[in-house]
Amino acid sequence: MNDQELKTLFRETGAMLGGHFRLSSGLHSDQYFQCALLLCEPRTATLLGGALGEAVRREPWKPDVVVSPALGGVVIGHETARALGLKALFAERDPDGGLELRRGFALKPGQRVLIVEDVVTTGRSTKETLSLVRSFGAEPVGAVSIVLRGESEPALGVPFRSLAHWPARAFERHACPLCAEGRTVEKPGSRPG
């Protein structure tokens, strides 16, 4: 899937939003990628999971299992795992805001884990997921996302690939020009706060 095909999918599904948004990272932006709208169509989710699976097959990673942070990574993680013939697990927020595996999910020491996300800005959720994976003694081998919206690739300590790199403006709240204009901020992501 090329960059233009992916942009067309985002536009056709209404998943590329403009406005004033508070991102999961805490940063503010005038652009938001609402992947839930993109992935709610099973055909599109399967197509994107297949594209990520193909990108992973070109790498020497050879994962045993996929782990995604909930909520945004669940569908694309599942579809990428399907494309790779792997099991898909997801990590959920605990009451203190950290990530944990629940619902009987577990990892084994030495298991090779691929992290799958929908959108990456700062890499915060990906880093938290990597830390969780390591706490089981499992080995993270790489991370992938549909879109990298940050200016640069985050330092994750593992290789990272995305289907698209669409840098979007992001601001600390105190330096946000949209806040200075008095525009109402929306919080569309899954992370509280």
Tokens in use for 57?
């097959």
pLDDT top residue among 190 and 37: 37
Helices 3-13 + 42-57 axis angle, to 10: 160
Question: What distance in Å separates the CA atoms of residue 72 and residue 76, rounded to the nearest whole number?
Answer: 8
pLDDT of 133: 98
Phi, psi of 101 (to 5 degrees): -95, 130
Banded model confidence at residue 150, pLDDT cuts 50, 70, 90? confident
Domain boundaries, the chain: 3-180
pLDDT digits (tens, 9 = 90+) for 173-188: 999 999 999 999 998 8
Is 0.85 surpassed by the pTM of this model?
A: yes
Length of the chain in residues, anyone? 193
CATH topology of domain 3-180: Rossmann fold (3.40.50)
pLDDT of 188: 82
pLDDT of 18: 92
- Count Cβ atoms below 10 Å from residue 62 Cβ, excluding itself: 12
- Across 34-184, the runs of DSSP E, i.e. the strands, are 65-69, 87-93, 99-101, 112-120, 139-148, 160-165, 170-171
Question: What distance in Å separates the CA atoms of residue 104 and residue 150, rounded to the nearest whole number?
Answer: 34
pLDDT digits (tens, 9 = 90+) for 55-108: 999 999 999 999 999 988 999 999 999 999 999 999 999 999 899 999 999 999
What is the DSSP pairing of strand 99-101 with strand 112-120?
A: unpaired
3-state class (DSSP) for residue 31: strand
The residues that bridge with 100 in the sheet, in sequence order, are: 92
Please, what is the average pLDDT of the chain?
Answer: 94
pLDDT of 88: 98
For range 35-57, the mean pLDDT: 96
Question: How far apart are the two ends of the chain, measured CA to CA in Å?
Answer: 34
For range 18-34, the mean pLDDT: 90
